[in-house]
Structure 1
Amino acid sequence: MYYPHPLMRSLFVLSLLPFSYVQAADKPALTGGGVNPLSITKIHDRVNYMVSLNFNDGKIAQEWHSVDCKNNKAQILYKDLLDNEGLTKARFYGASYSRYAPAQDDKLMTAEDIRTVCNLPIKEAHWERLSATSSVGTTDLVDVNSIQRVGDILSVRMGYDYADIIWEPPYDAPLELKIEHYLYNCKTHQGDAFAAMNIDSEGRVTDSLITADIVRRKSSFKINTQMEERFGQMCQLPAGKTFTAEGHFVPAVNKPSSTLMGPSMPDLSNNNSQWLSKFPLSVAIEHQAQSLIKPWALPRFKQIRYTEVSAPGEVKVQLDAQPDGYIRKLEDYGIWTVQRLTLGNQLQLKYTMSISSGSSLLNKLQTDLRFPLVTGQRYQAQWDTIDDDKKVTAATLRCEVTGEGDAHSIAPEFSGKYLLVECHETHEGQRRSSGKSAWLQDLNVFVPVAQQVGDKPESLVKLENVSVIR
């Protein structure tokens, strides 16, 4: 692999910059790494690059960065954690696991660091059209400023512009331009793609394949006859001569969002109801659930927010009462969110996650639960859920109302009395769990008091940052 010496010297300096992932990792210690030259792209006034990080525990990470040289602003795009074979096993966009989130400001990059990046001898991409725009809005391109030949090796970046903004799985990362970096042997007429990047409207990399990931996907980047012909023309390009084809291409601005390739995962922000509403319950389940909550268990609030604090950690919760009497629950775990449609914040009717396009629905329910609850009451429930793959999972719940207390003791924002309900729950394929909940009689909702999973000790649950909108 060959690169001009000035670039290599600049890359050495770049590799010494205080990348955020390095600084955040007190243990394990960084033992090596550096910038991958094939990752460096300059789109307009923005430079993107990836740094590989090796740690003394054997773990490897790759972190993508972007620097806006016009506004002197540095950002972290995302991090990939690699397995022993060098393949991506986990991706984080900021704190978001396995799902795209906007770039984060890189507060560790100094003004001098930014100048170092912006002074790299990298030419801005200059796109030449290789084809007319297709019926689906795709235009084949080549970055003429990327064409380099050193010895028999041709280095070139091909591009594919999209007329619409599309979102690509598995991360729902938005893109308007794809870039593929090829190394091609002009003598043997053999070559491969060594990097592929998705670019958004601001010129930032939103998704990529590089190192072992692109080797695994080698069959997706085969050099066809037309590309081989183009590469042959570039191999014969006289020194100092610029490659030309169908003319200079300038991408459109303010592109519309695609109606065919939009996000495949749900938008659960602010406990949005649109995703789960697409999956109706069966008529039988709907009738059964409605008969349980009306009239004695209809929620007496519009919204409740709180943070569950327990030994396993903190979870932000938002409960929204629906006109039909169900309670829509959003659980924010930081790296992902979970949404449930529930009966009283106990029996789950529907379920989805922010990092999955799937959902599960209550498919069958047998229960002797009756409202209003009274001290000494016992009830049980047996149910099946079914997911998008038609997989059925069984679960059971056995509960007893064991006491009562002042709701104000759980949180000052609660009023009236509560009934303490102790439950034991099983889910097919999971460890048994148990918990204590308080049925708030003024609000008609369960809130957690304690929880236990498997053989672990019981953990008390404290509710903080409580707010109630009646």
Structure 2
Amino acid sequence: MMRLTPACCMALTLLPASVYAVPANSVTDILWDKDNTVRVGESINTVYRIAMADGSSNHLWLNVDCATQAKTLLYMNLQLPGGKKIRAYGGNSFARYIPGVPFEPDADSPLSTDPVLDICQQKVPQTRWVALSGTDKAGDQPLIDVNNSHREGNILTLRLATDYAQIHREDKYAAPYDFKISQMQVNCSRRQARVERTFSLNNQFVTDDSATPDTAFTPLPSPLAASVQTLCSLENIGQFTGSGPRVERQKTAADAPLVIPDFENNDPSALAHFPLPAAVNGVIQQALKGENAAPTFSRLTFTQVWPGNDDSHAVTRIDRLPDGSTLTLDTLMLKGVTFYSQYQRLFNIVNLKEWDSMQNSPLIGQSVETNFSAAPVVGQQYRWKTVLKNEKETGNTKTKSQACLVERQWHDASMLNEKFPGRYIEVSCTDDRGDGRAMSSDYAWLENLRIFIRIGYQEEGQKKRFTFKDVAIIR
């Protein structure tokens, strides 16, 4: 019996046990999806549908080199509780493209034992790409795979493609492609068509896909009208010669290389590519005015252990930036998968920029309102509100805020961990993290370090507290 991890809904034991080790929901069946199969010479890209006991299904994209039997895990389309879906590239990069990784299923996995799932033993036709016309002004060329297109009465089932002159990237996952396939049905009588699914490829690997099987027929797009009229006149699509066979060509990248943070080392350079507006910089300068405003350390690291018995924890690193703001890296491990979140903040509480490892670009503060300072006053209320914008996604803005109250009693900081110097005071906050839902966060203001750190939250009127270990301070 195969299982699935509760946290990520993806611990399929058909994967090597070293990748996802904690079982949960049962896998009831594994099926080969022949409709989502793309052949490139001896290399076959295909989907295995993983049926779960709760009725959900997950889709595993593999590439198999039938000449060498080498397998590459490309990505998985995963269904989460509640019906939400998420893409995992290379097995552990969520919502962001990374190249496929070598894959070898366990010896007792159905992918190793069931001959029906051996893609190289199935009758997957070789492709024969023929140009529908010459290249356009951009150098792109429309093609048809005549070996995988056929006619049934007035309905044509066509596998069409665009062979791009350059390598592009999809917006959503930043997946590269230079060849894009469309599986299409055409009604010759009505001169209408519908696209059932698409596949994006880079070299021989599928990097993205989409499926719209219930799409209605619509009028033929004008660039295809003449070619489809010719195809509709043929009894046997295999006879189509068009503008000749596809010619392989060298390609260069159309887009600049992706700038992704070196999360492991909390490198600030990637975020620095996205400057803050002058007004936000003014807020930073005003808040840090004076000699006793900036944090007193250059680096603070600790492990934060959450309440409960499952030993859930996160590793935090806080670096002081030259302007006195902080760059915080939170590292979270869930069932063998590492997630990173990087934040530029004032006093490690007021959000200015943020970037997590599931995103291809950061959120940058466009406006900031705050009355936080380096000397919070007992009993005083503080707040901040930041409007953040994704510079690479038009219209993608998010507003985050906190309203906080400073408590009235100071405590010895060593109560949190013996390495923390001086004293601290607790600050209780209500958060809006951009989804309009109120959440609780409690902080400690560490007076000696001049920094806020989150120490827990409140649940049903009860304080829930983290414990701290592995504390290290570099002055």
TM-score when scaled to structure 2?
A: 0.75
Residue 404 of structure 1: aligned partner: 412
**In structure 1, what is the Cα distance between the partners aligned to 2:464 and 2:362?**
32
2:141 alignment partner, one of 130, 136, 139: 139
**In structure 2, what is the Cα distance between the partners aligned to 1:137 and 1:314?**
52
Q: Secondary structure at the match of 1:215?
A: coil
Summarize deviations over 1:246-297 as a string: whole Å, max 9, x none: 23333434522414xx76xx73332444336423351541331221xx4224
Cα pair distance change 1:377/1:145, threshold 3 Å: same
**In structure 1, what is the Cα distance between the partners aligned to 2:24 and 2:190?**
46
Amino acid at match of 1:427: D
Q: Whose helix fraction is larger, Structure 1's or Structure 2's? A: 1
Return the offset for 1:64: 2.0
Q: Within the alignment, does 1:455 sit opposite 2:469 as a pair?
A: no
Q: Within the alignment, does 1:344 sit opposite 2:347 as a pair?
A: yes
**In structure 1, what is the Cα distance between the partners aligned to 2:84 and 2:224?**
29
Amino acid at match of 2:286: Q
1:37 alignment partner, one of 34, 52, 58: 34
2:303–2:315 CA contact under 8 A, matched in 1: yes
Q: Within the alignment, does 1:439 sit opposite 2:443 as a pair?
A: no
Residue 430 of structure 2: aligned partner: 426
**In structure 1, what is the Cα distance between the partners aligned to 2:457 and 2:338?**
23
Return the offset for 1:426: 1.9
2:431–2:441 CA contact under 8 A, matched in 1: no
2:52 alignment partner, one of 55, 66, 84: 55
**In structure 2, what is the Cα distance between the partners aligned to 1:360 and 1:286?**
12
Cα pair distance change 1:162/1:432, threshold 3 Å: same
1:285 alignment partner, one of 283, 286, 290: 283
Return the offset for 1:451: 0.2
2:104 alignment partner, one of 107, 110, 114: 107
Q: Within the alignment, does 1:245 sit opposite 2:242 as a pair?
A: yes
Q: Within the alignment, does 1:168 sit opposite 2:170 as a pair?
A: yes
Amino acid at match of 2:341: V
Return the offset for 1:230: 2.8
Amino acid at match of 1:147: S
Cα pair distance change 1:209/1:241, threshold 3 Å: closer
**In structure 2, what is the Cα distance between the partners aligned to 1:88 and 1:142?**
34
Amino acid at match of 1:132: G
Return the offset for 1:77: 2.5
**In structure 2, what is the Cα distance between the partners aligned to 1:47 and 1:452?**
50
Return the offset for 1:197: 0.9
2:302–2:469 CA contact under 8 A, matched in 1: yes
2:326–2:347 CA contact under 8 A, matched in 1: yes
Which ranges of structure 1 fall in alignment gaps of 5 or more residues?
A: 1-16
Cα pair distance change 1:384/1:335, threshold 3 Å: same
Q: How does 1:6-25 map to 2 (within 5 A)?
A: 19-20=14-15
**In structure 1, what is the Cα distance between the partners aligned to 2:427 and 2:48?**
50
Return the offset for 1:454: 4.1
Cα pair distance change 1:336/1:378, threshold 3 Å: same
**In structure 2, what is the Cα distance between the partners aligned to 1:447 and 1:66?**
45
Q: Secondary structure at the match of 1:227?
A: helix
Q: How does 1:325-364 map to 2 (within 5 A)?
A: 325-333=324-332, 337-353=340-356, 354-355=358-359, 358-361=363-366, 363-364=368-369
2:70 alignment partner, one of 68, 73, 76: 73
Q: How does 1:195-274 map to 2 (within 5 A)?
A: 195-201=197-203, 203-210=204-211, 213-215=212-214, 223-234=220-231, 237=234, 242-253=239-250, 255-259=252-256, 267-270=260-263, 271=266, 272-274=268-270
**In structure 2, what is the Cα distance between the partners aligned to 1:279 and 1:396?**
23
Cα pair distance change 1:440/1:92, threshold 3 Å: farther
Cα pair distance change 1:102/1:214, threshold 3 Å: farther
**Stretch deviating more after TM superposition (348-357 or 51-60):** 348-357
**In structure 2, what is the Cα distance between the partners aligned to 1:251 and 1:317?**
49
Residue 11 of structure 1: aligned partner: none
Return the offset for 1:425: 0.7
Return the offset for 1:179: 0.6
**In structure 2, what is the Cα distance between the partners aligned to 1:398 and 1:466?**
26
Sequence identity of aligned pairs in percent?
Answer: 22
Cα pair distance change 1:45/1:88, threshold 3 Å: farther
Return the offset for 1:305: 4.2
Return the offset for 1:320: 2.6
Residue 85 of structure 2: aligned partner: 89
Instruction: Tell me the number of residue pairs that the alignment of Structure 1 and Structure 2 aligns.
Output: 432
Amino acid at match of 1:430: R
Amino acid at match of 1:320: D
Amino acid at match of 1:385: T
Residue 387 of structure 2: aligned partner: 386
Which ranges of structure 2 fall in alignment gaps of 5 or more residues?
A: 1-11, 390-394
Amino acid at match of 1:106: F
1:34–1:53 CA contact under 8 A, matched in 2: yes
Residue 310 of structure 1: aligned partner: 306
**In structure 1, what is the Cα distance between the partners aligned to 2:195 and 2:125?**
20
Cα pair distance change 1:121/1:392, threshold 3 Å: closer
1:159 alignment partner, one of 158, 161, 169: 161
TM-score when scaled to structure 1?
A: 0.76
Amino acid at match of 1:402: W
Amino acid at match of 2:403: T
Summarize deviations over 1:5-43 as a string: whole Å, max 9, x none: xxxxxxxxxxxx984499989543334562222211112
Cα pair distance change 1:240/1:183, threshold 3 Å: closer
Aligned-residue Cα RMSD (Å) equals 4.0
